[in-house]
Amino acid sequence: MFRTTGFALAALAVVAAWPAAAQQRGGLHPRSSATTLDLIEANRGCPLSATSVTVGVNRAFGNGSAAQQHLGTLNAPGNGSGGGGCRPLVTTQVAAGVNLAFGRGSSASQTIEAQGQRGALATNTFSRGFNAAVGARSSASQRILNQVGR
């Protein structure tokens, strides 16, 4: 009985130590901490992050109706509070659209274009679209471009 209890306690101690060992050894190793710190230091006076959201809703309701929509967003380097030469550490860019053609012979056409700059440390992009045509001879076309430059 004592051996079984001792073995169980030893096994419990080993299992309890696994999360601590995993925290010390797991995860991704940064390429170079010095490089990351240099990027942050070089970004003084510039915005730390930049977010751009481009959303369009286009609808053609009714028999024989038509709707067209074209949206565009350009986030060129230097836009923001830091002036020219600034590059945010993190950029987030969203391009989303809803395009609906409801009714006999209706048509809806939508184009959404977003263009932004790459973040110094991270770039996040999110693109989504919902496109629907309901009714005889109805049509819906949608184009979403979410581009990130250098």
Q: What is the pLDDT of residues 55-85, one digit of tens each?
A: 999 999 999 999 999 999 887 665 544 456 6
pLDDT above 50 (res 128): yes
Q: In this predicted model, what pLDDT tens digit does every residue of 10-38 receive, in sequence order? A: 655 554 554 444 434 434 445 556 666 66
CB contact burial 103-128 (16+ within 10 A = b; e otherwise) = bebbbbbbbbbbbbbebbbebeeebe
Q: In this predicted model, what pLDDT tens digit does every residue of 77-90 receive, in sequence order? A: 655 444 566 778 88
pLDDT above 80 (res 94): yes
Chain mean pLDDT for the chain: 78
3-state per-residue secondary structure call for 27-56: CCCCCCHHHHHHHHHHCCCCCCEEEEEEEE
Take residue 107 and report the two structure tokens written for it.
């048509």
Q: Are 118 and 148 in contact (CB under 8 A)?
A: yes
Q: How far apart are CA 38 and CA 15, in angstroms?
A: 40
Cα–chain-centroid distance for residue 40? 22
Predicted confidence at residue 45, as pLDDT, reads 75
Q: What is the pairing mode between strands 49-61 and 122-134? A: unpaired
Cα-Cα-Cα-Cα dihedral sign, residues 81, 86, 88, 91:
positive
How many Å is the Cα radius of gyration of the chain?
26
Domain spans of the chain, in order of start: 46-148
pLDDT above 70 (res 4): no
Predicted confidence at residue 81, as pLDDT, reads 47
pLDDT above 60 (res 108): yes
